[in-house]
Amino acid sequence: MAPDGAVHFIDNVSSGPGPMENASEAICALFLMAMIVLIGAEAIARNLFATSLQITDEIGGYLLVAMTFLSMSVAEAHGAFHRVELVQARLGHSARLVSQIVFDLMSLVASALITWQLTRLVMNSWRSEDVAPTPLQTPLWMPQTTMAIGMFLLCLALLRTILTKTRRLRGSAQ
């Protein structure tokens, strides 16, 4: 059974979480609780004290961005992404591993390209000193950095998955 409760018909080889993924997971959990506290505070401020924090939808958006990107590597390391198992279930052990390594390599290339673009976005925002048009005037590079970091960690997690699968493949070949 996979860690997210799903049962797979085929063996889902994953690297298992490392310290980076565990840290990301804890940060995401923290952000999730922060979201609840923030929204609760806004609701209380508005309904009991007739005032508004004026930051909830802004910070809420940033927290969601961070959660989206930082949770990707966590899901990858736990093997929580799902696949159509139609063809996979019909392949032999080695063929399945080889095909998955090829997929992971393609995913790695796409993720690396996205990481490059996200990094460029952060640098651009930093260089041109863009801020959010809100009372907080948050410099945009700060929340945007979580996207680049998350994507980069996903690349690392994919690399580890590929290594794990290659090792398995060698092990079964001997």
Partner 1 sequence: AAEKWDLYIYNPVATVAAAKGMSAVAEQIEKDTGGELSVRMHLGGSLPINTTTITQAVSDDVVQMGDDGYFLGNVPIGGVLRLPMLIRSLDEYKKAADIMAPYLEKAFEKKGVLVLGQYLYPYQVAFSSKKLTSLADIKGQKIRVTSPEQGEFIKRLGGVPVTLGAPEVPSALDRSIVDGVLTANTGGGNTWKDLLKFNYRLGINYFNSVVIVNKERFNKLSPEIQAKVRKAVADNMPLITKAMADEEDNLSKKFAEGGMTVTEQQPGDLDVGTKAISAYWDEWAKSKGPDAAAALKQVRAALGR
Partner 2 sequence: MTPGVELIFVLAIFVGLLCVGMTIPFSITVPSVLYLLLHAGLPGLKGIGLVSWGSMNSFTLSAIPLFILMAEILQESRLSLRVYHGLSKLVSWIPGGLLQTNIAGCAIFAAISGSSVVTAASIGRVALPELQKRKYSPRLSAGSLAAGGTLGILIPPSIAMIVYGTFTETSVAKLFMAGVMPGLLLTAMFMAYIAVHAWFRPGIAPREVGARSTRELLSALLDVVPFMVLIGGTIGSIYSGLVTPTEAAAVGCVLAMIIAVFWGEFSVAILWRALQTTVRVCGNILFIVYAAFLFSYAISYAGVGEQITQFLVNLKLSKLEFFFALFVLYTVLGCLVESLGMIVVTVPLLYPVLVQYGIDPIWFGVILVLFIEMGQISPPIGINLFVIQSIWTGKLSDVVAGTVPFHLIMFVLLGLLVIFPEIAMWLPSQVTAVP
Interacting residue with partner 1 among 134, 163, 170, 172 (CB under 8 A): 134
Distance CA 157, CA 30 (A): 21
Place of tokens 């049962």: 7
130 binds partner 1 per the rule CB under 8 A: yes
- Give bridge partners of residue 88 from the DSSP assignment: none
Q: Which residue has the tokens 């927290």?
A: 63
48 versus 86: smaller Cβ distance to partner 1: 48
| Alpha-carbon distances of 1 from 5, 6, 11, 54, rounded to whole Å | 6, 6, 9, 44
Check binding of 135 to partner 1 (CB under 8 A).
Answer: yes
**62 Cβ neighbours under 8 A, 6+ residues apart:** 138, 143, 146
Question: Is the distance from CB of 37 to CB of 53 less than 8 angstroms?
Answer: no
Nearer to partner 1, 58 or 107 (CB): 58
> What DSSP character marks residue 52?
-
Calpha distance 110→82 (Å, rounded): 18
Which residues make up the interface to partner 2 (CB under 8 A)?
Answer: 3-9, 25, 28-29, 32-33, 35-36, 39-40, 42-43, 47, 56-58, 60-65, 67-69, 71-76, 78, 80-88, 99-100, 103, 106-107, 110-111, 113-114, 116-118, 120-121, 124, 140, 143-144, 147
Give min distance, CB of 14 to partner 2, in A: 11
Out of partner 1, partner 2, none, what residue 111 binds, judged by CB under 5 to 8 A for its kind, is partner 2
d(CA 105, CA 138): 36
Identify residues 17-76 at the interface with partner 1 (CB under 8 A): 46, 50-52, 54, 56-58
Residues numbered 66-125 forming contacts with partner 1, rule: CB under 8 A: 124-125
Binding residues (CB under 8 A) for partner 1: these are 46, 50-52, 54, 56-58, 124-125, 128, 130-135, 137, 140
